[in-house]
Amino acid sequence: MLDRLRQADIPQELVFGWPRSVLLGDEKLIVEQHQGIYACTEQEIILKTLCGHLVITGEKLSLSRYDRDGLVVFGRIEKLSYRPKG
């Protein structure tokens, strides 16, 4: 199946529902295909994804856009990591 996706030039993250993250410097993060917010403070934002919880750690974190298509995090982003669901 992966060979067919490559031949059709369809990104795997779209087919499998994986989150897509774009980090711009250390001050802006764009996340697509998330499943909602698990927790949100100025030091840590935890997003639900099919791969587990995406943990964004930093200072003065805030959400500037949040909708079903994606979200944008602003602030001083220091670390991105995954935790198993649970």
Q: pLDDT, tens digit, for every residue of 71-80?
A: 999 999 999 9
Q: Which residues pair with 81 in a beta bridge?
A: 55
Q: How many independent structural domains does the chain possess?
A: 1
Q: Percent of the chain at pLDDT above 70?
A: 78
Task: Tell me, yes or no, whether 27 lies in a domain.
Answer: yes
Per the structure, the complete domain to which residue 24 belongs is given by 19-83
Ranked by mean pLDDT, which of 14-18, 49-53, 54-58, 64-68 comes out on top?
A: 54-58
Confidence of residue 8 (pLDDT cuts 50, 70, 90): low
CATH code where residue 76 lies: 2.60.40.2000
Identify whether 64 is part of a domain: yes
Q: How is residue 66 annotated by DSSP?
A: E
DSSP letter for 30, please.
E
Residue 12 resides in a domain: no
* Three-class DSSP category at 7: helix
Identify whether the C-beta of residue 77 lies closer than 8 Å to the C-beta of residue 27: yes
Reduced to 3 states (helix: H, G, I; strand: E, B; else coil), residue 17 is coil
- Rounded to two decimals, the pTM is 0.79
In this predicted structure, what is the pLDDT of residue 5?
A: 54
Return phi, psi of residue 26, to 5°: -120, 20
Residue 9 domain-assigned (yes or no)? no
